[in-house]
Amino acid sequence: MAHKLRYETARYAASYGTPEQLPAPTTPEVVFVGRSNVGKSSLLNRLIGRASLARVSSQPGKTANINFYDVDGVMFVDLPGYGFAKVSQAEKRRWANLIAGYFDQERSFNLVVALVDIRHDAQRIDLETLGFLRESALPFVVALTKADKLSRTRQESQAQTLARQFGIERSQMVLTSSQAGTGIPELRRRIEEACL
Ligand SMILES: Nc1nc2c(ncn2[C@@H]2O[C@H](COP(=O)(O)OP(=O)(O)OP(=O)(O)O)[C@@H](O)[C@H]2O)c(=O)[nH]1
Ligand SMILES: [Mg+2]
């Protein structure tokens, strides 16, 4: 039933440094959450089909604000990464406040894409995030990132392991690689189903 999003129309919309600045939502939103350096901005760029609409970090901690991208009337929301050690306590507090402030608002959370690096077993901070998403009854899909770093066989076995550790179905996960393009059509389909 879902139509297709016209990704080629994607444009940067706005950037916010405090939750108070966030405008009331007027469109469906797809939000990308995950640890710093997990590949949020890269995945967003790949989904949009634009090399560098979202800023990709040469060093982690690049995305320090909430960035909105308008994709054919659906807002793609790039959150700052959590758990990045090398910023000041004050900056960490600002980011945490920004993320919590975003989720606290009455918004149109059509889909949360929770990114997890496929190479590592479940980390506490990811377990907490998924727990929060479940408790809040937010619709989410887990994107396992950087799949190109593992062999096909290891990708699947690690996906099974992570599904078990997170207590979710394998079908709630998508293997992705922003480098190789793995999982992009599947993720687009899920976004379109959630938003259109
Ligand atoms: N091999 C590989 N590297 C990737 C992939 N996706 C991202 N990277 C690399 O991982 C690093 C971090 O990518 P970003 O997209 O900036 O990650 P982020 O989650 O937006 O990071 P913050 O904004 O700091 O939270 C960069 O060096 C990317 O080139 C992938 O699919 N495969
Ligand atoms: Mg980023």
Q: How many helices (DSSP H) and strands (DSSP E) are in the chain?
A: 5, 7
Say which range, 5-9, 60-64, 93-97, has the weakest mean pLDDT: 60-64
CA of 51 to the centre of ligand 2 (A): 13
What is the number of the ligand closest to the CA of 57? 1
pLDDT at residue 3, rounded to an integer: 82
Whole-number average pLDDT of the chain = 90
Sequence-distant (≥ 6) Cβ neighbours of residue 5 within 8 angstroms:
71, 72, 74, 188, 191, 192, 195, 196
Confidence of residue 1 (pLDDT cuts 50, 70, 90): very low
Q: How far is the CA of 84 from the centre of ligand 1 (A)?
A: 13
Ligand 2 centroid to 83 CA: how many Å? Answer: 13
Pocket test for ligand 1, best of 56, 119, 150 (most atoms within 8 A of CB): 56
Ligand 1, residue 80: give the atom nearest the CA: 25
Q: Which ligand is nearest to the CA of 39?
A: 1
Going from the C-alpha of 179 to that of each of 45, 67, 94, 184, 188, the distances in angstroms are 11, 22, 31, 11, 16
Residues with CB under 6 A from ligand 1: 34, 36-42, 56-57, 60-63, 80-81, 145-146, 148-149, 177-179
Question: Domain residues of the chain, as ranges?
Answer: 7-195
Q: Which residues surround ligand 2, an ion (CB under 5 A)?
A: 40-41, 63
Distance CA 113, CA 173 (A): 10
**Interval 117-169: pLDDT, tens:** 999 999 998 999 999 999 999 999 999 999 999 999 999 999 999 999 999 99
pLDDT confidence of residue 95 = 80
Are 26 and 90 spatial neighbours (Cβ–Cβ below 8 Å)?
Answer: no
Going from the Cα of 41 to the center of ligand 1, the distance in angstroms, rounded, reads 7
- Does the pLDDT at position 59 exceed 70? no
Nearest CA owner, ligand 1 atom 11: 37
Closest ligand 1 atom to Cα of 177 = 31
**DSSP alpha helix (H) spans, the chain:** 40-48, 89-104, 124-135, 152-166, 184-195
User: Phi and psi dihedrals of 108, rounded to 5?
Assistant: -95, 85
Does the domain made of 7-195 have the CATH classification 3.40.50.300? Answer: yes
- The structure tokens listed for 166 are 């997170």
Q: What pLDDT band is residue 93 in, cutting at 50, 70 and 90? A: confident
